[in-house]
Amino acid sequence: MAISLDDLPIRDDLRGRSPYGAPTDKVPVALNVNENTHPIPEDVARDIVESVAKAVLEVNRYPDREFTELRESLARYLGHGIEAAGVWAANGSNEVIQQILQAFGGPGRTILGFPPTYSMHTIIASGTGTEWVSGQRDANFEISPATVVREIERADPDIVILCGPNNPTGTPLELATIEAAYNAARGIVLVDEAYAEFMPADKPTALTLLEGRPRLLVSRTMSKAFAFAGARVGYLAADPAVIDALRLVRLPYHLSSLTQAAAVAALRHAPEMLAMVDDIKGQRDRIVHVLTELGYEPYETWSNFVLFGGVDDPHAVFEQLLERGIIVRDLSIPGHLRVSAGTEAETGAFLDALRDIRLGA
């Protein structure tokens, strides 16, 4: 006889919860999960394949447990005086964050976050037994230094997690807010910089604040700017003592030889890979411009996506776009939808379809 999840002796705090998920409809234009829709350049892809093929010849052996070459490559890529000893990596930034919560969170400890934000943050907190505490944002989804201090003083959390640029809103996160959070918090301050490469070139990243702040952690991913979502590579920059803490909770050999080889090869071609970023930023700005012309209300965004308000019936518009072979994200934020910036053709298809819907064509 078949049983349901409710029939199993799972933890009480997991009952009634839903796993992370986004619509997976197969459509010609998928702009719903903030992927980099640009294909990897052929010469880069060839180098990655050759590197993975070489690694396969030794796949009978366990991988380098410390993934030394990858950490050195990531340190060079990040710059800002960061050394390999202060770099960590895992299977996507989600696993990096999970390991942080395993080491610094857990039962009896709390994490303060600021919804709406990346939904996996709450799921990872739940999975590690860390109590989630929601903080309040300012207008337009911003977080000022005064607001972050007020919320930290109210909640007295063990961990503060800030997403900048924020997902799903694209909202910038100013360094002054991060500094204020660090000074007010007694524990870990984690900045999720998954979309850092899409920030304006003249804006400093949280990496510039690491020196002298051993409780500050900055997580990144190769999924977005490097078009590496399917490879699952996330990483972290922090004080080397933090890396020692993560070694206590990581599973042995958690990064496969194939993952390490693919990531190192991709990082060898960082300038070529990042050339896609400028095009994506251009398409993002094009979306903002046209949405404004159509009477929608796009928010300021430093990411590869645009959240826009002024949508009378988000579900209806979502379905109308889907009928035209285009999928965006309905986040259940009243009056809002979110769209990722795609290629020029994909972006054009979305804007043309939305224009038709807006004008009743």
According to the 3-state scheme, what is the secondary structure of 13-63?
A: HHCCCCCCCCCCCCCCEECCCCCCCCCCCHHHHHHHHHHHHHHHCCCCCCC
Lowest mean pLDDT among 13-22, 272-281, 288-297: 13-22
Query: Element (H or E) spanning 133, and its range?
Result: strand 131-134
Does residue 282 have a pLDDT over 80?
yes
> What predicted TM-score, i.e. pTM, was given to this entire model?
0.94
Say if strands 110-113 and 159-163 run parallel, antiparallel, or are unpaired. parallel
What's the CATH number for 22-40+272-359?
Answer: 3.90.1150.10
For 196-232, how does the pLDDT look when each residue is reduced to its tens digit (9 = 90+)? 999 999 999 999 999 999 999 999 999 999 999 999 9
Residues 6+ apart with CB under 8 A from 112: 133, 134, 135, 151, 152, 155, 157, 159, 160, 161
Residue 219 phi/psi, 5° resolution? -100, 150
Tens-digit pLDDT profile for residues 156-203 = 999 999 999 999 999 999 999 999 999 999 999 999 999 999 999 999
State both tokens at 259.
């993952």
Write phi, then psi, for 356 (nearest 5 degrees).
-60, -40
The DSSP 8-state label assigned to residue 130 in this structure reads P
Tell me how many helices (H) and strands (E) the chain has.
11, 12
The rounded radius of gyration (Å) of the Cα atoms in the chain is 21
Class of domain 42-268: alpha beta
In the prediction, which pLDDT does 341 show? Answer: 97
150 CB burial (10 A radius; 0-12, 13-18, 19+)? middle
Contacts of 7 (CB under 8 A, 6+ apart): none
| Mean pLDDT rounded to a whole number for the chain | 95
pLDDT in tens, 89-142: 999 999 999 999 999 999 999 999 999 999 999 999 999 999 999 999 999 999
Distance from chain centroid for Cα 50 = 28
Burial of 218 (0-12, 13-18, 19+ CB in 10 A): buried
At residue 89, φ and ψ (nearest 5 deg) are -150, 160
* CA atoms of 324 and 353, how far apart (whole Å): 7
Helices 257-268, 68-78: inter-axial angle, 10-degree rounding: 30
The whole-number pLDDT of residue 21 equals: 67
Position 15 scores a pLDDT of 85
Which pLDDT belongs to residue 153? Answer: 98
Identity of the residue numbered 196: A
Question: CB-hemisphere CA count at 13 Å for 321?
Answer: 30
What's the CA dihedral at 51, 274, 230, 21 to 10 degrees? 170
Q: Write down the domain spans for the chain.
A: 22-40+272-359, 42-268
